[in-house]
Structure 1
């Protein structure tokens, strides 16, 4: 039985790692052998990645992660610890956002951002990404808070802590794995998001790195520069892999310590 588990796990690992390994191999393969020519072309081409594109991606990801953590933590704490009229209905409505394909309402959101004066802005893009992260994030944080023994909170309040003080000093350290999981998901979604920036951003100076990689696809005579594209894929994947490697222990605990309970 254990051998079958190992075999299945190995097969799945190969299946998921093969595209990334192929991209890594293709990104260093040249006509004369192997080298970094594809990466040089990715960053030196007129349509390639610039420092501004990377900075835009970092700004959008940071705003999305910060906004998602603040809203989902506050909402998750309220849903998990307080009783108020319409609580369950409001929670179900929040989860119902998952059933709406976000691509179908991007045009409406684009118009809404125009009314708010946030069209073609990184802040507006971040707000849209935060909205679509909230269902999963609120669900995760609510269950994370519910997994914490109520006695910890009661002891803090007996000692004179307010609700906010209890949240900051007692509850947040207790739900750290859930926070890491929510933050990691928000980063991965915002860093690699393509469709929303494509619709919501018009100025090339505000393009994110993923849009710059797609612009790199056209070489001379309309051909596709696959080698530069693969270099772009690897460049976009490296931050995700590094971040996951550092946070994987807390990430796994976020799923196994009651974060998805109930």
Structure 2
């Protein structure tokens, strides 16, 4: 009885949390004619027309360019964030002052609403010629990802005994060699987890994509909004739903494929000691 009740609660929770995704997915398989008469969760005549239209008609809006822009910016934003956060996390984890002062300061900066940085960032990017570029978007996504990367990597490095560092330094290893040869292999799961979370965060970023791009470097999150009325005559709900499903596939597939890696890394610190 208790087990059955548990599964019922679980099913209700899953349905509630994924209801918007389910509605979007169902809508993407409906024709415009059916949507005008059937707005429910059932499909009378499933169709791939919306997906064919999005993937084949690139005369006005090219979804492939938006996907490529998002992938490039997300890879830049995630890769640079890890390169910057890894040595910083090592220094913080091995320093009492860094853990008490520096880490809270950096992490709390992420709590500040990003819109506050909109005007100065736009003016700076305009002066540097980084507006509407994949590099410019990737650089700002790096800043967005650094606090998250620091939190994950500091916790992971803190779990590594400092005696390993001392033993390596006795043998003549430098701090850089300790990081690359000793610490990096040990915290590899945390690095992979940082990459996955960072990539998903960067891929889903909308504000800076809307603010810093106009045509050449428009990411998928912004480009998907162009399809709502791509054919004129009001909102094209089926087309818009198909675009949103296609845009959500890369981070969703990445999360599903690497789920065991993520859960293993998150549990590592919980079971320590």
Corresponding residue of 2:263: 252
Cα deviation code 1:191-223 (max 9, x no counterpart): 122221111012x12212222211111145540
How many corresponding residue pairs?
259
Residue among 224, 237, 240 paired with 1:226: 237
CA contact under 8 A between 2:93 and 2:154: conserved in structure 1? Answer: yes
Q: Which of 83, 106, 109 is the equivalent residue of 1:94? A: 106
Cα–Cα, structure 1 residues 152 and 8, in superposed 2: closer, same or farther, change >3 Å? Answer: farther
User: Matched residues in 1 for 2:201 and 2:130: separation?
Assistant: 21
1:2-43 residue CA offsets vs partner (Å, 9 max, x unmatched)? 555444333222222332222222212224721211012213
Contact 1:153 1:166 in 2 (8 A): yes
**Pick from 58, 61, 65: which aligns with 1:52?**
65
Aligned equivalents of 2:201, 2:78: Cα separation in 1: 10
Counterpart of 2:127? Answer: 115
Secondary structure at the residue paired with 1:258? helix
Q: What do the CA deviations read for 1:212-242 (whole angstroms, capped 9, x no partner)?
A: 2111111455400110111011101111121
1:126 to 135, 138, 141: 138
Question: Is 1:205 the equivalent of 2:219?
Answer: no
TM-score by length of 1: 0.88
Superposition deviation, residue 107 in structure 1: 1.9
**CA shift for structure 1 position 142:** 0.8
CA contact 1:144–1:259 (8 Å) conserved in 2: no
- Structure 2 unaligned spans of 5+: 35-44
SS in structure 1 opposite 2:132?
coil
Deviation at 1:45, TM superposition (A): 5.0
Give the aligned partner of residue 66 of structure 1: 79
For the 8 Å contact 2:90–2:154, the answer to whether it is kept is yes
Q: TM-score, normalised by structure 2?
A: 0.85
Partner residue in 2 for 1:170: 182
Aligned to 1:80: 93
Cα shift at 1:83? 5.6
Alignment match, 2:42: none
Match of 2:173 among 161, 164, 182: 161
RMSD of aligned residue pairs (Cα, Å): 2.4
